[in-house]
Amino acid sequence: MSEERRIGVDIGGTFTDIVTIHDGEVTVSKTPSTPDSPDEGVINGLRKVRERDGFDAAEIGFLAHGTTVATNAVLEGEWADTALITTEGFRDVLEIGRQARPDIYDFQVEKPVPVVERDRRYEVRERLDERGNVLTELDEAEVRSLAAKLIDADVDSVAISLLYSFEDDSHERRIRELLREEGLDASYSLSSGVLPEIREYERTLTTALNGSLKPVMDRYIGKLEEKVEAEGVGAELKIMQSNGGIITADIARERPVNTLLSGPAGGVQGATYVCGLSDESNLITMDMGGTSCDVSLVEDGTPLVSTDTNIGEYPVSVPTIDIHTVGAGGGSIAWIDAGGALRVGPKSAGADPGPICYGRGGTQPTITDANLLLGRIDPSAFLSGELDVELDDVRRIVNDQIADPLDMTVTEAAQGILDVANANMARALRVVSVERGYDPREFGLVAFGGAGPLHACKLAEELDIPKVIVPRTAGVLSALGLLISDILYDYSTSRVRPWKDITPELLGAQFAEFAEKGEKRLAAEDLDAAAMQFERTVDLRYAGQAFELSVPVPAGELDDAKLSTIAERFHDRHEQRYGHAYRDEPVELVTIRLRARGVVETPDLRPTDSGGEVDDAVTSSREVAFGGETHNTLIYDRSDLPTGASFEGPAIVSGVESTVVIHPGQQVSIDDFGSLHVEVSQ
């Protein structure tokens, strides 16, 4: 009996990627994205793979989706009309923000536009202290009066963020109850449910963002679910979260702020899984597309998670895979600044008009154009007779805008563009490795996205990374990641207390409460106890510090010895991250966390083997420039490379979704699942 069909759909800026797994076989497809109506791209993709593979929609047993709807709404400021209710005296938290400026020397810097404008921010009389004790009772009459104002204002969503509500959420819940009693028909977001943690600005902002996104996400998911059902798909729609876990569509509607990095998180999950098949567990992932490059770090098979992430100009503090982004993609534009220096990005030519070689009217040189001029991309794949552009056109524009002003040859200018872009990406790779206390020499670099494999081998050389891994489905890895990710629910609460005052009973009781909630949530998704895992962590800091580090809690029942172990782990992590530790200084508990994981049975991917010899995959050769020197370089068709094969660079491996550039002296081997492993010479 054949397995169910599992389908993952990830929406990108240019293409919507569809990956199908059936009986262990992976098939991929792309269809143009539809930015004005993203759900149409999803449906078009489903129809395309059904027509190609000839199966009925009822055979789809699992359907997961990575979405940029929430991200785009934040970046474009296109969110719902939202009201914010805060404790008296805290109306302007969103406006005040943090004291730190993005650039300390920029005296003209402007703070981000508040998610909720001032005339939609309201105060209520109530007050708790830092331990949750009531100092001022909630003025219920004032709340009832406020309901009439909100009804007249015709708001779509209400965000409620009260001081110290993470210690006691009763006032937030009562406000919601009173507003509903008074007839206010709106969606509600409570900080005690969205982010029950310290830091008033981040907590209020995250709650306001969630409130402003709820109607947007509700409309999108509702429309998509209707269309998926109309296609005859019976599987429940799942959505990827920023933390690398899958949730139901209903939960995504309730907590859209948890989906802000849905797409990039899927890529990290896909890279982790594919490399795990080859027993590679320490990885730096690099996802380079058309406009940006996203990098992240995976330690012992687990992506690092952060609660300090920026989406555009807004810091969002929900658990998110620690992804660092720079404006370096295939469409990033090369330009010369006022000081005469060559710069690349962050502005991008996008998909329309795109790079010059796309033949869609692009007039500014890009990274893709530079790769083309150096011979790294097959000219026939871009400069076909159907496109109104020739190689000479690309060469002329690069010469006029870059080479001639800098007194260079066109080849030198193209190499310079790549060198500047690589320097930007190398800095990003150092941010997630060296600056986090990790040695890049102990990791492999996983390259994916349409442009990642073009640059990865050179970047690995520069950072002394010994190996580059390019998965077989590198161009659609985010969609594949949707199909192998576990179900995840995160629970947290801040309890700022001296660590010496924390007892095993107090900490254990909070973990037990979270575990009960997680167990109920996972059971509602038809998971049995054997598939449930509960991962406990605490955020600790030295007394007087402003920020904290997350520390894993040992398994089993807690006792004094385990509390001491937790403290020692904190000292060790502090030393790894910052190069020093103060083991005699008092430690402070900040936040208690539990992750409820529903382990999904991953599909047994079928090894791929085209058979034949490695020489059979050679399609041609051409002159390719590497570091100022030109080499006659063999071109391999990736689909014809047999497993177990090996060969030496320089070489170009051309695939349907991406092109891999292997530099002179580097050794390549193909594993059982079609991934390229490039040993980088040091």
Q: Which two tokens stand for residue 495?
A: 């309890």
**Average pLDDT of 425-447?**
94
Given this model, what pLDDT does residue 170 score? 97
Is 294 a member of any domain?
no
Beta bridge partners of 653: 636, 660
Given this model, what pLDDT does residue 1 score? 39
Sorting pLDDT into bands at 50, 70 and 90, what band is 388? low
Looking at every residue in the chain, the average pLDDT score rounds to 91
**Residues 479 and 31 sit within 8 Å (Cβ to Cβ):** no
Sorting pLDDT into bands at 50, 70 and 90, what band is 602? confident
Sorting pLDDT into bands at 50, 70 and 90, what band is 309? confident
Given this model, what pLDDT does residue 386 score? 47
The domain boundary residue, chosen from 569, 598, 627: 598
**Residues 558 and 504 sit within 8 Å (Cβ to Cβ):** yes
Q: Which two tokens stand for residue 485?
A: 């990710």
Residue closest to 388 by CA, chosen among 429, 349, 360: 360
Neighbours of 158 (CB within 10 A): 26
Q: Which two tokens stand for residue 49?
A: 């793979």
Q: What is the pLDDT of residues 399-429, one digit of tens each?
A: 999 999 999 999 999 999 999 999 999 999 9
Mutual angle of helices 140-153 and 170-181, in 10-degree steps: 50
Given this model, what pLDDT does residue 384 score? 46
Tell me what percent of the residues of the chain surpass a pLDDT of 70: 97
Residue closest to 83 by CA, chosen among 60, 114, 105, 116: 116
Phi, psi of 588 (to 5 degrees): -125, 135
Is 232 a member of any domain?
yes
Q: What type of residue is 191?
A: S
**Residues 242 and 320 sit within 8 Å (Cβ to Cβ):** yes
Given this model, what pLDDT does residue 354 score? 82
Phi, psi of 520 (to 5 degrees): -65, -40
Sorting pLDDT into bands at 50, 70 and 90, what band is 367? very high
Rounded Cα distance between 60 and 50, Å, is 10
Rounded Cα distance between 491 and 595, Å, is 6
Segment (H or E) for 4:
none
**Average pLDDT of 643-672?**
92
With the C-alpha atoms ordered 392, 396, 397, 399, is the resulting torsion angle positive or negative? positive
Q: What is the CATH number of the domain that holds 46?
A: 3.30.420.40
Check whether 533 has a pLDDT greater than 60: yes
Given this model, what pLDDT does residue 627 score? 85
Given this model, what pLDDT does residue 308 score? 84
CA angle (144, 149, 151) in 5-degree steps: 95
Q: Which residues, at least 6 apart from 350, have a Cβ–Cβ distance to it below 8 Å?
A: 13, 290, 291, 331
Q: What is the CATH number of the domain that holds 174?
A: 3.40.1360
Check whether 346 has a pLDDT greater than 60: yes
Q: Which residues, at least 6 apart from 666, have a Cβ–Cβ distance to it below 8 Å?
A: 457, 648, 649, 678, 679, 680, 681
533 and 569, same domain (yes or no): yes
The domain boundary residue, chosen from 217, 244, 271: 217
Given this model, what pLDDT does residue 103 score? 72
Given this model, what pLDDT does residue 210 score? 97
Q: Quote the number of domains for the chain.
A: 4
Given this model, what pLDDT does residue 329 score? 87
Check whether 348 has a pLDDT greater than 90: no
176 and 92, same domain (yes or no): yes
Is 309 a member of any domain?
no
DSSP code string of 420-483: HHHHHHHHHHHHHTGGGT--GGGSEEEEETTTHHHHHHHHHHHHT--EEEE-TTGGGHHHHHTT
Is 199 a member of any domain?
yes
Neighbours of 19 (CB within 10 A): 26
Rounded Cα distance between 559 and 555, Å, is 11
191 and 231, same domain (yes or no): no
Backbone φ/ψ region at 432: left (φ over 0), alpha (ψ -120 to 50), beta? alpha
163 and 187, same domain (yes or no): yes
228 and 202, same domain (yes or no): no
Beta bridge partners of 591: 494, 539
Given this model, what pLDDT does residue 226 score? 95
Q: Are strands 629-637 and 651-654 parallel, antiparallel or unpaired?
A: parallel
Rounded Cα distance between 592 and 501, Å, is 15
Is 25 a member of any domain?
yes
621 and 522, same domain (yes or no): no
Q: Which two tokens stand for residue 3?
A: 């397995």
98-102 long-range Cβ contacts below 8 angstroms, 24+ apart: 98/201
DSSP code string of 341-395: -EEEEEEE-TTTT-SGGGTSS--S-BHHHHHHHTT-S-HHHHS-TTSS--HHHHH
Is 348 a member of any domain?
no
Q: Which residues, at least 6 apart from 409, have a Cβ–Cβ distance to it below 8 Å?
A: 403
Rounded Cα distance between 117 and 95, Å, is 9
557 and 507, same domain (yes or no): yes
Neighbours of 385 (CB within 10 A): 6
Check whether 216 has a pLDDT greater than 90: yes
Check whether 672 has a pLDDT greater than 60: yes
28 and 125, same domain (yes or no): no
202 and 230, same domain (yes or no): no
Check whether 575 has a pLDDT greater than 80: yes
Sorting pLDDT into bands at 50, 70 and 90, what band is 590? very high
Q: What type of residue is 521?
A: R
Which range is least confidently modeled, 43-52, 584-593, 650-659?
Answer: 650-659
205 and 250, same domain (yes or no): no
The domain boundary residue, chosen from 152, 186, 217: 217
159 and 63, same domain (yes or no): no
Strands of 23-103, DSSP E: 25-32, 60-66, 82-87
More confident residue, 353 or 512: 512
Given this model, what pLDDT does residue 385 score? 46
**Average pLDDT of 227-254?**
94
Q: What is the CATH number of the domain that holds 511?
A: 3.30.1490
Check whether 608 has a pLDDT greater than 70: no
Q: What is the pLDDT of residues 15-46, one digit of tens each?
A: 788 999 988 788 888 888 887 888 998 999 99
Check whether 382 has a pLDDT greater than 70: no
**Residues 68 and 514 sit within 8 Å (Cβ to Cβ):** no
Check whether 2 has a pLDDT greater than 80: no
Beta bridge partners of 448: 287
Given this model, what pLDDT does residue 624 score? 95
Sorting pLDDT into bands at 50, 70 and 90, what band is 195? very high
Domain that holds residue 645: 614-679
Is 362 a member of any domain?
no
Is 634 a member of any domain?
yes
Check whether 324 has a pLDDT greater than 50: yes
53 and 121, same domain (yes or no): no
Q: Which residues, at least 6 apart from 568, have a Cβ–Cβ distance to it below 8 Å?
A: none
Tell me the helices (H) and strands (E) count for the chain, helix number first: 17, 35
